[in-house]
Amino acid sequence: MPNYRRAHVEGGVFFFTVVLADRSSKLLIEEMDRLRQVYRTVQERRPFETIAVCILPDHIHALWALPENDRDFASRWSLIKSGFSRGIDAQPRSDSKIAKREKGIWQRRYWEHVIRDDADLARHVDYIHFNPVKHGHVTRVADWPHSSFHRFVERGWLDMDWGGDLKDIEGNFGE
């Protein structure tokens, strides 16, 4: 097994892609209230700022800023994933997942990227907000309800018709 290493930057800003094991599932949308409650509870207990987020049927994209002297995003994601899974029936799973008491709901790993500068941050915010269009869930960014895009519009940071002329956003985003 490869020696996988996570980036550990205290007080850093990170982009994440967290994915369900079953990519055809709509569980995150079907259980949106559960996801929001668990996310909020983890955020209250282990503070972090959500800069941007988009929940799709089978995956989540999020940009987080961690507090100064804190680099532990892994335990936060673990708490979110396990809290969400609690109370949901187990999915078909491998012997390995059974042995580790995993329900088979989430992929074990997730993509994380350390945001390097303002341009990198802006590109990832754009990617998060445009993702529902990219995956064909809607034709306009504004039509997807499970996104921080609407908060950006309320604050005057983006126009309601933003993204209408985008075809794709270049980069590696963990999908």
Question: Which DSSP state fits 114?
Answer: E
Does 151 score more than 60 pLDDT? yes
Average pLDDT over residues 107-136: 93
- Tell me the pTM: 0.84
CB 66 within 8 A of CB 48: yes
Ordered by start, the domain boundaries in the chain are 13-154
**CA atoms of 1 and 70, how far apart (whole Å):** 28
Query: Over the chain, what is the mean pLDDT?
Result: 86
Highest mean pLDDT among 23-27, 52-56, 166-170: 52-56
* 91-115 pLDDT, tens digit each: 555 555 555 555 578 998 889 999 9
Average pLDDT over residues 80-98: 72
What integer pLDDT is reported at residue 2 of this predicted model?
A: 45
Does 83 score more than 50 pLDDT? yes
Level-2 CATH architecture, domain 13-154:
2-Layer Sandwich (3.30)
| SS3 assignment, position 145 | coil
Tokens 């341009």 belong to 119
In sign, the C-alpha dihedral spanning 17, 23, 29, 32 is negative
Size of the chain in residues: 175
